Structure 1
Amino acid sequence: MEVKSLPADAAAETTAAAPASATADQARGAWRPTAERLGQRYGTIVILALLFVYFAVKTDNGVFTTRDNLSSILQSSAVLGIVAAGLTLVLVIGAFDLSIAGNLVLATLLAAKIAVDSGSTDLGMLIAVGVAGAVGLANGLIVTVLRVPPFIGTLAMGLFILVGFQQKIAPDGTVSLGLPENFGDLGQGEVFGVRYTVLIAALVLLVAHFLLKHTVLGRHMYAVGGGADAARLAGIRVDVVRVIAFTLCGLACGLGGFLTASTFGLGSAQAGGSILLDAFTACFIGASTLTIGRFHMIGTTLGVLTLGMLTNGLTLTGWTSDDVPIAKGVILIVAVAAAGLLRRRQ
């Protein structure tokens, strides 16, 4: 039986068509993961931009985009940014600190109390920040020396021990009478229309970013968070790194506490507010940005701005103070779930 061969031209066309079709399929297949990676890396930035546009359109007379309102968002987010920076360091090492709200309140009350008793704002600030740092150090020792899980140790510290000290310092919950005249200078002062608190928060976040990205300590923190046993085998002093992270977190809470007292001109047991939920939410939002599933300061900063914009925008569009925490809680759940999913997929 005679087998007929294809004409030379037809064979050439068939041979050329096959690679072209395969190349097109490969291009389509490559596009999908690329788009997915871009969405994962920059999703928070896109959400931040969409929120800005949405609230700019929804608020009356463009109130949301006015200079005063944008300054208000930054001002209200400043203390959160400082505390979240400290919390990020603890999360990087694979631990938790649930005492941040209690530590901030203690620093707020202590700063006001010392300032009243001594007549010195500077002394009040130094003691408040120092004591808060000591609380962070104690948390680190509880976790590393006593081997108490961070969740339990810091919860006991924040929910019981620090609350007891707060009640001793201010039985009625506030310290406001007899404060020095300059007590509010740092919290209420500004330069070129920008509050000092905003500048301090930006500086803290920048320093913390430099620490994590460009220092040996930062690399060791990530190594400990990635696996304590492997870090030990690599010669890293795991417990020392953990204690440092908790101590720095405590110092951040102390600075945030003083600035809170200085901003409002009093020390209050209610100063903690939703700082615990907000700080964790900001950090987990940040963990799903840029370096997927990894805590870092750029992500935390974006998370803080997202929460500040969300709270301000919802308030301006008619949401009540009871509704805003619901939105934050939903965002926290989604952020934690997203960060965990992205980490598993990596």
Structure 2
Amino acid sequence: MKYSEKAGGTKAKPPNLKMPAPTNFGQNVHHQIDRQNTQIGQIEPNSTDQLGQIDPKTEQNPPLTESDHSGQIEPNSSDQNPPLTESDHSGQIEPNSTDQNAHLTESDHSDYAEDEQKRNIIDKFQAMKDEFKQKGKFSAKEWNQIEEKIAKHLKVNRSKIYEWKKEFGLSRKAFYAEEERKHLVEKFNEMKAELTQAGLKNSYSNQIDEIVAKELGISFVTIYKWKSELGQIEPKHKHPHSKQMELMKRYYEIKDQIPKIIDKDIAKILKIGSATLVRWKRQFKRQQFHPNSVDGHSVEENAAANVQEIENITSGSI
């Protein structure tokens, strides 16, 4: 490059070529890249295309040209990069994936296992109660103490067990309407008949009754009480009618001879239960019996025999 000469023949000095003042352009670029790198993976919550979309509020570069997309693979291409890891997806699973709701399945499994554990404890609690039932009768207070001990053995609070029973519909209702009783008795009869026809036999007394009643969530004793109230059970008389007549004749004789004697002692003489005697007294009135004879024997003969039996009872020999 030639420089012009000044007047007088002197050459002009070339201009002072200095480097431009340094700028922070490079730093700004790197800073912007860093900012955008932190934005990659942030997905708009309501976006329909959740792959690679950046929050529109953040500063973005101009859209990439077709050449800039070189190296990116079409969504339906068979030559794809390995699938993103679960951490890359930020815990989101493709809606149409065959491996859906993995975390829900695990949660469901956990709930199922917890329910099974509760039911096992309830079954053990009930089984241990049944063992005590076979040993004898207990008062309500004694049953509360027994249940507390069983629950303590199972390392669970007794009230918690009853809470679980209610949760699973295993609690017994305190009151059943008449229609409910009829329905449950009918269901009991049907289920018992099915088990009997299937060949199930009692390994101990009332086993089938207990199995069916437990399935219905009711005591078999309660079922039979309802059956009796509905007239489905005929009373079984241990003594025939003629024998009952004979024993009641003796009852009234003893009562005439010793007015102060209590019915409990007379029942012992007659070798019947006190409840049976009460029931027979309602059935047989004094006026039904001939005053001068009992079973072919005179009143005097029977009276002597009765007095002897009474003396034996009071002396403790019977």
TM-score range, shorter chain: under 0.3
Work out which of the two has the higher radius of gyration on C-alpha atoms and give 1 or 2. 2
Higher relative contact order (CA 8 A, sep 6+): 1
Q: TM-score, normalised by structure 2?
A: 0.24
Higher share of residues assigned helix: 1
Q: TM-score, normalised by structure 1?
A: 0.22
